[in-house]
Structure 1
Amino acid sequence: MKNKILIFGGTFNPIHNGHLILAEHCINEEGFDKVVFIPTMNPYYKDTLDFDTRLKMLKMAIKDNDKFAYSSIEKRYNLEGRLYLILEKISKLSEDYITILIGSDSLMNLDWWYKIDEILKKYKVLVLKRDEEDEAIAIKIAEYKEKYGADIKVLDNKRIEISSSMIREMIKSGKSIKYLVRDDVEKFIRDEKLYV
């Protein structure tokens, strides 16, 4: 039986409770059988931790939820952030229905993505609305539907005001990040003196 899979890509530097709440919200609202977290291999941000450290925290954060999974597919096959290649590889390994989660900022810049025409013809897209920008999003979705026959839906989301950059800044300032990340992730960050 085919499952409904949501691909949730990101830097996860570090993964935080906002990511987890959002993933669970997607399951509840859209009926996904599984959310697969895919950390990016080599992001272009200077203060990003190495892939293996970020993956270790990701595994800790999702270990108690059987509807959450992770994949190191980008590193394993050296796909360097090319979503099209990642999706094609996943499709070869599985026959599940695949949906991609993206932010509304990414929606506005899809034209620059590698093989975006193929992505939008083959895969469903779920857009996370960050701000009150309904009209701009609707215009862009209509454009992609007409151009590629894209299947794009906006997620009705309760915005969580947590970000990885905020957490990194709090750590640098010596502030507590308790309740913003999972307890074991917080301990790991503290023990390994990460982001200081």
Structure 2
Amino acid sequence: MERVAILGGTFDPVHWGHLVIAETALSQLGLEMVIWVPAHRPPHKHGRCYEHRRLMVEIAIAQNSAFVLEAGTTKHTDPDYAISTLAELQNTYPNRQWFWIIGLDAFQTLPRWYCRERLVPACDWLVAPRPLPITTPSTRNSITTSTQQEIGTQAIWLCQQVAGQLASQAIPIRWQLLQTPPIGISSSLIRHYCRQGRSIRYLVPDGVRAYITKHNLYLGE
């Protein structure tokens, strides 16, 4: 049975950290593909124009044939819920084994997700640990291999806590930690740099950077 993963998010904007996580999952699990799902209306986040975010993802993943952009283009009026996304994709891609790529912070909220009793057992959960922050010359030497190991150990402990919370709700879960390199890039950091007029080169793919510049995104927020 072919293995397919879902990577959902606001992607405001998509950046190299997202791409590294997706590629790690692809190789670590031997996946057929990763389906990228930009949220129309995230349940708990503000996201700017869906079309801008979707087009930036399309640009970012264009060179990887194993990365697929979710086909839905219909404007949603209700918040996006993961259970609906999974059901739609299961109809489009039947007879697959499903995985869900998720950051550790979002994974910790899983015991409160809508319809979690149906969603959680339907997928294997691939958890990306929190990245190390971008370093400066004064802090670079302090980030050691042992520091990275401590981050991994803490991530495993936190995931076990989530599994315990779900078990108390009689919800079984299959999860594993992604072995991602520590890249401290976030969408909020990129938006902050844009507001300050700072360069975002090497934080996002060149095509995404050109799109942001062309459309004057994230200025004056």
| CA distance in structure 1 between the aligned counterparts of 2:166 and 2:177, rounded to whole angstroms | 13
Larger Rg: 2
* Residue pair 1:145, 1:151 contacting (<8 A) in 2 also: no
**Distance between the aligned counterparts of 2:127 and 2:51, measured in 1?**
28
Deviations 1:94-132 (A, max 9, x none): 122111112222222222111101112222211122143
* Match of residue 125 from structure 1: 125
Unaligned runs of 5+ residues in structure 1 are none
User: What residue in structure 2 maps to residue 144 of structure 1?
Assistant: 166
Residues matched between the structures, number: 193
List gaps (5 residues or longer) in structure 2.
Answer: 131-150
Q: Which amino acid aligns with 1:7?
A: I
Percent identity (aligned): 26
Match of 1:102 in 2: 102
Report the TM-score when normalising by structure 1. Answer: 0.89
Residue identity in the other structure for 1:179? Y
Structure-1 residue corresponding to 2:147: none
Q: Which moved more, 1:90-99 or 1:77-86?
A: 77-86
Cα deviation, residue 6, structure 1: 0.9
2:35 and 2:67 in contact (8 A); partners too: yes
Query: Which one-letter code corresponds to 2:118 in the other structure?
Result: E
TM-score by length of 2: 0.80
Once the two structures are TM-superposed, the CA of residue 154 in structure 1 deviates from its matched residue by 1.9
Which whole-Å CA distance do the structure 2 matches of 1:177 and 1:6 have between them?
28
The answer to whether the 8 Å contact 1:39/1:72 transfers is no
* Structure 1 counterpart SS, 2:182: coil
- Mapping 1:78-117, distance limit 5 Å: 78=76, 80-95=79-94, 96-117=96-117
1:181 and 1:16 map into 2 onto residues whose CA distance is 4
Aligned 8 A contact 1:8 1:100 in 2:
yes
